[in-house]
Amino acid sequence: MLTRRRALALAAALSIAPVAPAFAQSVTLRSADIHPDGYPTVEAVKYFGKILEEQTNGKYKVQVFFSGQLGQEKDTIEQTRFGVIDLNRVNTAPFNNLIPETAVLGLPFLFRSVDHMYKVVDGPLGDEIAKAFEPHGMIVLGFFDSGARSFYNSKKPIKTLADMKGMKIRVQQSDLFIAMINALGANATPIPFGEVYSGLQTGLVDGAENNYPSYESSKQFEVAKYFSLTEHSMAPEVFVMSKLAWDKLSAADKQTFKEAGKAATLKMRELWAARDQQSKDTVIKGGAQINEVDKQPFIDAMKPVYDKFVTSEKMKSLVDRIKATQ
């Protein structure tokens, strides 16, 4: 057995420090993502870790468990709330049922452009929505871009509202998204992202909705080649930290985490723009057929969704202020 005396003697002989000084101890934070390595969200969280490590002299490190290694989004959200996972990059949609304020970000055809969405999430409205995560055990470190979501399916191009009728469409686990699909005359089926490819392949669902990078990286374009540009929702991604982990940080470290979150957000958006184009090229090469859609009938059909979800004074005020944001 290696006793302490022998260890010290050995260390002295090798002239190395026998015990690492306490201040050099580092904490590795675990972060979840369903996307694969190299995807903009995964790279942005790695970048967050790099900044954190530099700024805190190695006190904090981040390990990203990509490709859903820690579970699907609904599960990892629970794990984050209870401190099993420290960090999580998720879409805002799976938070909709838990935190109603997040639903406002996914409302159909609300944002006029990606820039409009950035202005909202980067300003006081974004802070207000971020605050709503705290009573549920999470701190928002950044809102990432997720482009616009459009429908794709294995049957035919969606050109008119009538083409949606009776289609079985996979949605995220969010009542808002279920209502949107049903309002269009289709049938919503909520299933986790990791099961969508096989769902499309086996005919469990006819289609789904997402942005180009997710459609491409998940290979769903191989089994659902008709991509119709409805661009019905711009629900952004959100990067959160477990409040239990956050509460252990010193005030100075909290500041560093916030700043690293901002830097990661900017990095993500830059990576996103490039990946969006690259993914579009890949799916076209892979046989996807993309068509434009006259959006007005889709916009009109969404009125019941607003009637159902924008009922409280708080929600009405959020929607009005988003619309007024220039």
- Contact set with ligand GTR (CB under 6 A): 34, 73, 90-91, 93, 146, 172, 193, 210-211, 214, 237
Query: How many CA atoms lie less than 13 Å away from 43 in the CB half-sphere?
Result: 12
- Judged by beta carbon, residue 217 or residue 256, the one nearer ligand GTR is 217
Residue with smaller CB distance to ligand GTR, 49 or 192: 192
CB of 101 to ligand GTR, least distance (A): 18
CB of 56 to ligand GTR, least distance (A): 28
Cα 51 to its chain centre, rounded Å, is 21
Residue 244 to residues 47, 71, 84, 261: CA-CA distances in angstroms?
22, 20, 9, 17
**What is the number of other CB atoms lying within 10 angstroms of the CB of residue 222?**
15
d(CA 121, CA 130) in angstroms, rounded, equals: 9
CB 256 within 8 A of CB 52: yes
Q: Residue holding tokens 């967050």?
A: 48
Pick 60 or 106: Cβ nearer ligand GTR: 106
| Residue (201 or 317) nearer to ligand GTR, CB | 201
Q: How far is the CB of 177 from ligand GTR (least distance, A)?
A: 9
The secondary structure of residue 36, as a DSSP letter, is P
To ligand GTR, the closest distance from the beta carbon of 190 in angstroms equals: 10
For residue 29, the minimal CB distance to ligand GTR (Å) is: 19
Q: In angstroms, rounded to a whole number, what is the distance separating the alpha carbons of residues 267 and 261?
A: 10
Which residue, judged by CB position, is nearest to ligand GTR in the bound state?
91
Cβ atoms of 170 and 207 within 8 Å: the answer is: yes
Measured from the CB atom, is 196 or 318 closer to ligand GTR?
A: 196
In 119-257, DSSP assigns E strands to 138-144, 149-153, 168-171, 187-190, 207-210, 226-233, 237-242
Q: Cβ closer to ligand GTR: 214 or 228?
A: 214
Nearer to ligand GTR, 211 or 256 (CB): 211
> Least CB distance from residue 62 to ligand GTR, whole Å?
18
- Cβ at position 90, least distance to ligand GTR in Å: 6
Sign of the CA dihedral running 49, 53, 56, 59:
positive
- Which residues are paired to 245 by β-bridges? none
